Structure 1
Amino acid sequence: MSVTEMFSYIQGFLSADQDVREDIRKVVQNLEQTAREILTLLQSVHQPSGFKEIPSKCAKARELFSNVRTQMAELKTKFPVEQYYRFHEHWRFVLQRLAFLAAFVVYLENEILVTREEVAQILGSRYHVLVQNHISL
Structure 2
Amino acid sequence: MSVTEMFSYIQGFLSADQDVREDIRKVVQNLEQTAREILTVLQSVHQPSGFKEIPSKCARARELFCTVRTHLAELKTKFPAEQYYRFHEHWRFVLQRLVFLAAFAVYLESEALVTREEAAQILGSRRHVLF
TM-score (norm 2): 0.97
**Given the superposition, is the C-alpha separation of residues 127 and 81 from structure 1 closer, same or farther in structure 2, using an over 3 Å criterion?**
farther
Contact 1:69–1:124 (8 Å) recurs in 2: yes
* Paired residue total: 131
Equivalent residue number for residue 59 of structure 1: 59
The CA deviation string for residues 2-33 of structure 1, in whole angstroms up to 9 with x for no partner, is 11110000000000000000000000000000
Give the % identical residues. 89
Contact 1:72–1:127 (8 Å) recurs in 2: no
3-state DSSP class of the match of 1:130? coil
Structural RMSD (CA): 1.1
TM-score (norm 1): 0.93
Q: Distance in 2 between matches of 1:30 and 1:10?
A: 31
**Given the superposition, is the C-alpha separation of residues 83 and 30 from structure 1 closer, same or farther in structure 2, using an over 3 Å criterion?**
same
Letter in 1 for 2:102: A
Equivalent residue number for residue 96 of structure 2: 96
The CA deviation string for residues 21-47 of structure 1, in whole angstroms up to 9 with x for no partner, is 000000000000000000000000001
Q: Which runs of 5+ in 1 are unaligned?
A: 132-137
Q: Shift in Å at residue 130 of structure 1?
A: 3.4
Counterparts of residues 96-135 of structure 1 (less than 5 Å): 96-126=96-126, 128-130=128-130
Q: Shift in Å at residue 127 of structure 1?
A: 7.1
Q: Shift in Å at residue 129 of structure 1?
A: 3.3
Q: Which runs of 5+ in 2 are unaligned?
A: none
Q: Does residue 20 of structure 1 match 2:20?
A: yes
Equivalent residue number for residue 39 of structure 1: 39
Q: Shift in Å at residue 103 of structure 1?
A: 0.2
**Given the superposition, is the C-alpha separation of residues 32 and 6 from structure 1 closer, same or farther in structure 2, using an over 3 Å criterion?**
same
Contact 1:73–1:127 (8 Å) recurs in 2: no
Q: Distance in 2 between matches of 1:3 and 1:130?
A: 43
Q: Shift in Å at residue 126 of structure 1?
A: 4.3
Instruction: Spell out structure 1 runs of 4+ moving beyond 3 A.
Output: 126-131
